[in-house]
Amino acid sequence: MLNLPDRVLAVIKAVEAQNRDDVQKAVSACLTELTKQNLLTPKVRSILIERGLRHTITDFRHSANTEIKNRPWVGKVQKPRVTSGKAMRDMLVNSWMRYAIQGRALGEFLGAELIPAATREEDEANGKLRIAKLIRRIAGQMPKDKMVKEVMTDQQIDGMWKKIK
């Protein structure tokens, strides 16, 4: 997980378990404990910073996509007032506003950006499919009245994840 050393993960897991109801308190307690145990090495700091940046970028993209999708004209077919000529052509040309991709309207992409954008979308979709396969595999081994954390160990879940293609 995140390529962090096992000792660091153990500290984070223990502190998180003690602070389930307060994320900020858990973060502060983790920093304190990791510092106390001299585990905040440059490598660990780098991994944590990268993870924080990745999370922040994902939040920004989500906000941008949500904003685009919530525009009053996006995804709605509007009845044209003019059914031929320039007005009709303009309405059809501007339909690119309906498609929000990676925080941008489709029409804002350069041709050179389209294939890389499609690849990123495919990678994201493949990741979602892999997670769905993991969930299904875990569901097949779970009693209906238990939580995953009560039944499965991290090692079991990690082992399943590695087997899923």
DSSP string for residues in the chain: -TT--HHHHHHHHHHHHHTTT-HHHHHHHHHHHHHHTT---HHHHHHHHHHHHHHHHHHHHHHHHHHHHTSTTTT-----S--SHHHHHHHHHGGGGG-EETTEEGGG--HHHHHHHHHHHHHHHHHHHHHHHHHHHHHTT--TTS-HHHH--HHHHHHHHHH--
Residue 94 lies in a domain: no
The mean of the pLDDT values for the chain is: 81
Instruction: Identify the pLDDT of residue 145.
Output: 92
Residue 7 lies in a domain: no
Residue 30 lies in a domain: no
pTM higher than 0.85 for the full model? no
Instruction: Identify the pLDDT of residue 142.
Output: 92
Residue 161 lies in a domain: yes
Residue 15 lies in a domain: no
Give the domain range for residue 128.
110-165
pLDDT band at residue 3 using 50, 70 and 90 as cut-offs: confident
More confident residue, 77 or 106: 106
Residue 122 lies in a domain: yes
Judge whether 115 and 107 are in contact, CB under 8 Å. no
What mean pLDDT do residues 118-146 have? 90
Query: Structural domain tally of the chain?
Result: 1
Residue 50 lies in a domain: no
Judge whether 4 and 44 are in contact, CB under 8 Å. yes
Instruction: Identify the pLDDT of residue 115.
Output: 92
More confident residue, 99 or 57: 57
How far is residue 135's CA from residue 129's CA, in Å, rounded to a whole number? 10
Residue 134 lies in a domain: yes
Instruction: Identify the pLDDT of residue 107.
Output: 76
Does 112 have pLDDT greater than 70?
A: yes
Instruction: Identify the pLDDT of residue 110.
Output: 87
What residues are paired with 104 via a beta bridge? 101
Q: Which amino acid, 156?
A: Q
Instruction: Identify the pLDDT of residue 103.
Output: 74
pLDDT digits (tens, 9 = 90+) for 61-97: 777 767 766 665 555 544 545 555 555 555 555 565 5
